[in-house]
Amino acid sequence: MAWTEDRVEVLKKLWAEGHSASQIAKELGGVTRNAVIGKVHRLGLSGRATPSRPVKRPPRLAHPKPRIRPDGAVVAPKPQREPVEPQLKPNEKTAMLAALTPQPLSDGEAATILTLRDSMCKWPIGDPADPKFAFCGRKATSGPYCAEHAKVAFQPAKKREKKKAEYDYVRKIAG
């Protein structure tokens, strides 16, 4: 396959519109994705209108199929129940952590990245862009965290699954 002027113009147009190399190869026909990438490189094309991303489609919901009885009668499926809404409670741990301030060091300052030691809790407190940002600094008793922060950082698998279900539900209703 030869790169004619017309095909190069189509390539340039599609590339500028943000199409992927695979999409362009399919559109042109007779060339591979790698051939398109090579030609783009040789032409020095760079800027794109939008980055190429796969189209995200919402998952298809399964619809129950009607059953056919041995006598040939069609039995309509029972309507599916709406999912039970999980009861969302205020997160007590978040409130507890908000009240937990950094432990002052011997000089009266909070632990920073420069003063943090292996034996100290490495839970970040505040916004890293804020000059008051610090680490907890208490004695690390559970891996890198103090007992209070370990309760939040390490959750049993069942609790994680429940929180994920609540999160997924909230995302679903939020749209």
Coil, strand or helix: which one is 86?
coil
Q: At what angle do helices 21-28 and 5-16 cross, to 10 degrees?
A: 150
Structure confidence by residue, pLDDT tens digits, 87-141:
445 555 555 555 577 888 888 888 888 888 899 999 888 888 888 888 989 999 8
Domain extents in the chain: 5-43, 92-174
Q: Are 105 and 111 in contact, with CB atoms under 8 Å apart? A: yes
- Position 55 scores a pLDDT of 61
Measured distance CA(146)–CA(66) in Å, rounded: 57
